């Protein structure tokens, strides 16, 4: 049994932060990862799709055919992506069934230009959900203030949601409230909640990448520790809020906790272990969505043991020390959210250019 397989036994589900058409054959790479590593899900985003469509000819035939029916490169992209998500969902359906709908999910993100548009996000999320037409799909919605409002409404309509780009504890608490409120609204309407699944994608390595340079002179002892402490603090809130009576009442009606999903777990600093953010955040009722290089590294030399509660008593001290050095984690996380949305917009626009180029040459 390799370390990836062991994580699932410890209560942490491993998802793959990558998708590309050539992976999705019934005997292709994704099927192999499911069989050999007990892979439990897949996430995608505009940056992943920009790379996939730009570097692969696997989409060319569909692009050529789709231009007969669609004029917009955005419409063509979502047709391509929906087909991918459907294929991946079908490969994961046995996982979905074997885990009693805990895992086996595949995520597709709404357009990044909708990050501050409640109505637009709801409309596009519902459109994509209906197009994919798979009960083990998830629609990704950014955790902006507007995105959380949209997420809560979509949960109330019975749609599986991956709420993403969470960097701060303050924002995560709003996500928890939005999720639980959405479930309560659905219960009040007399509708079932036992089939709804959701994850809260909490970003890790980008925080250290942003903060470590600020600590170069006076705070070297904190370098490489803030992102993990921030995630541990989020996990404390997860345990607290999903252990309270308010959620337990929903759980009695079939509700599932909105699990924390660790995102951005590839190590950006070459001086750190290439599996630092996997080794350090292994906990029950969590998910880790892993980019390919980190996935391979953890399979090779990761350590599968419960670690998320390690040094938990030091978490508040680390965050207080950071504040005493004049570094505002809240300001950093706000900036990271803005940058994250901008990066996805840039990737999405680059992908539109790629599709336009292919439309001219195919």
pLDDT in tens, 15-33: 999 999 999 999 999 999 9
> What tokens were used for 164?
């993403």
**Alpha-carbon separation of residue 132 from 71, 137, 160, 328 (angstroms):** 21, 7, 12, 41
- Owner of token pair 């600093």: 269
Find the helix or strand (DSSP H, E) in which 227 lies.
Answer: helix 226-241
Catalytic residue numbers, as ranges: 140
**C-beta separation of 253 from 187 below 8 A:** yes
Residues of the chain falling short of pLDDT 50: none
pLDDT at position 362 = 80
Q: What CATH number is associated with residue 150?
A: 3.20.20.70
DSSP reduced 3-state for 96: helix
Task: Please state the domain count of the chain.
Answer: 1
Question: The domain containing residue 112 runs over which residues?
Answer: 3-361
From 340, 355, 347, 357, select the one nearest 51 (Cα to Cα): 347
Alpha helices in 44-193 (DSSP H): 46-55, 60-66, 73-98, 118-132, 145-156, 169-188
pLDDT at 291: 97
Report d(CA 168, CA 181) in Å as an integer: 20
* Predicted pLDDT at 71: 86
- What DSSP assignment string belongs to 216-284? TTT-GGGTTTHHHHHHHHHHHHHHHHTTSHHHHHHHTTT----EEEEE--S---TTS-TTHHHHT---T
Cα–Cα distance measured from residue 207 to residue 76, given in angstroms and rounded to the nearest whole number: 34
Six token digits for residue 305: 């043991």
pLDDT, tens digit (0-9, with 9 covering 90-100), for 263-283: 999 999 999 999 999 999 999
| 55: number of Cβ within 10 Å | 10
Cα–Cα distance for residue pair 67/83, rounded to 1 Å: 16
């Amino acid at each position: 049994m390799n370390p990836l397989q062991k994580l699932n036994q410890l209560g942490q589900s491993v998802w793959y932060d990558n998708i590309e058409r050539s992976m999705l054959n019934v005997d292709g790479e994704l099927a192999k990862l499911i069989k050999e590593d007990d892979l439990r899900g897949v996430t995608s985003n505009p940056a992943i799709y920009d790379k996939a469509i730009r570097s692969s000819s696997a989409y060319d035939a569909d692009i050529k055919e789709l231009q007969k029916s669609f004029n917009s490169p955005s419409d063509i992209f979502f047709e391509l992506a929906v087909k991918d998500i459907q294929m991946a969902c079908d490969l994961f359906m046995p996982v979905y069934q074997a885990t009693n709908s805990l895992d086996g999910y595949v995520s597709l993100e709404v357009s990044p230009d909708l990050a501050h548009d409640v109505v637009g996000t709801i409309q596009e999320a519902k459109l994509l959900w209906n197009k994919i037409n798979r009960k083990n799909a998830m629609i990704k919605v950014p955790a902006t203030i507007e995105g959380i409002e949209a997420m809560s409404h979509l949960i109330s309509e019975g749609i599986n949601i991956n709420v993403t780009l969470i960097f701060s504890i303050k924002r995560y608490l709003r996500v928890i409230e939005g999720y639980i409120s959405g479930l309560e609204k659905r219960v009040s309407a007399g509708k079932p909640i036992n089939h709804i699944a959701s994850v809260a994608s909490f970003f890790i390595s980008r925080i250290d990448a942003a903060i470590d340079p600020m600590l170069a002179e006076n705070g070297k002892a904190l370098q490489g520790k803030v992102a993990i402490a921030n995630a541990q603090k989020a996990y404390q809130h997860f345990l607290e809020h999903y252990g309270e009576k308010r959620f337990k009442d929903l759980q009695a009606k079939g509700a599932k906790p909105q699990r924390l999903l660790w995102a951005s777990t590839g190590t950006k600093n070459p001086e750190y272990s290439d599996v630092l953010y996997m080794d350090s955040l292994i906990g029950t009722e969590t998910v880790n969505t892993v980019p390919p290089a980190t996935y391979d590294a953890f399979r090779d030399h990761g350590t599968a043991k419960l670690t998320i509660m390690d040094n938990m008593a030091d978490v508040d001290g680390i965050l207080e020390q950071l504040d005493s050095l004049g570094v505002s984690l809240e300001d950093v996380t706000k900036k990271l959210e803005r940058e994250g949305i901008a990066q996805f917009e840039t990737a999405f626009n680059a992908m539109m250019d790629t599709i336009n180029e292919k439309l001219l040459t195919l």
